[in-house]
Amino acid sequence: MQFRHRVGLNSVAASLTGLMLSLAFSLPAQAADAVNSAEETAKNVCSACHGVDGNSAITLNPKLAGQHPEYLQKQLTEFKSGKRANAVMAGIAGALSDEDMKNLAAYYSKQSLKLGQATTNGKGSLGEKIYRGGVAATNVPACASCHGANGAGIPKQFPRVNGQHTDYTLAQLKAFRSGERANAPMMMVISAKMTDAEMAAVSDYIQGLR
């Protein structure tokens, strides 16, 4: 009886070892498949607007490279649900599964962001003053209070903004103000207090932020 019991335990141990080895080999393969799938999607679907590496050449389309994956996944989910309105992105996101979105967000977050230069809003400019100190007269808070001194943002809370195209940032601020973009209530409140000149200045400063 003891021999049979020992044989049974050995069989169980062998089965568990086999299962663990199988998982050890399959998990890296699954991860590689996810990366390859995301890269293919980036090449075949996203590259025309955002570039394969997430550094868009069209300034009205955002750079995605180096963005926090949680933020990217959230935006894709909200494009799909309609919470963030955009006809083009609604169609694209609608064809993606939750897993596709997660993998694509992870892919772009690992790409290297190509930084830009401000046109006129450098050190001491209106753009810098707004970004770092806000607008006291109208209770506009400093952008840096949420997005960080260097624009890197806070993962899971606030997106990276540094190096983003001036045209895109300006368009989004105006969309928040008009209510066209309504998936970030805090930004809607802030943008409602800003003038066109203030938006343009801080957007230009953000493009050169590093």
Q: Yes or no: say if 162 and 210 are a contact pair by the CB < 8 Å rule.
A: yes
Please provide the DSSP assignment of 160-186 as one string: --TT--HHHHHHHHHHHHHTS--S-HH
* Residue 61 three-state SS: coil
| Domain-wise residue ranges, the chain | 2-109, 126-208
Q: How far is CA 151 from the centre of its chain?
A: 13
- What CA–CA distance (Å, rounded) separates 132 from 121? 13
Q: How far is CA 43 from the centre of its chain?
A: 17
CATH of the domain spanning 2-109 = 1.10.760.10
| Cα–Cα nearest to 74, from 142, 156, 189 | 156
CATH architecture of 126-208: Orthogonal Bundle (1.10)
Answer yes or no: same fold for 2-109 and 126-208: yes
Per-residue pLDDT at 174:
98
Q: What is the pTM of this model?
A: 0.84
Instruction: Give CA angle at 163 (162, 169), nearest 5°.
Output: 80
Q: Yes or no: say if 202 and 143 are a contact pair by the CB < 8 Å rule.
A: yes
Per-residue pLDDT at 9:
47
Q: How many helices (H) and strands (E) does the chain have?
A: 10, 0
> What is the DSSP-derived secondary structure letter of residue 124?
T
pLDDT averaged over 10-residue windows placed end to end, the chain, 210 residues = 51 53 55 79 96 97 98 98 97 97 98 98 97 98 98 96 98 98 98 98 98
Looking from the CA of 120 toward its CB, the CA atoms found within 13 Å total: 4
Per-residue pLDDT at 13:
52
| β-strand partners of 154 | 158
Per-residue pLDDT at 27:
47
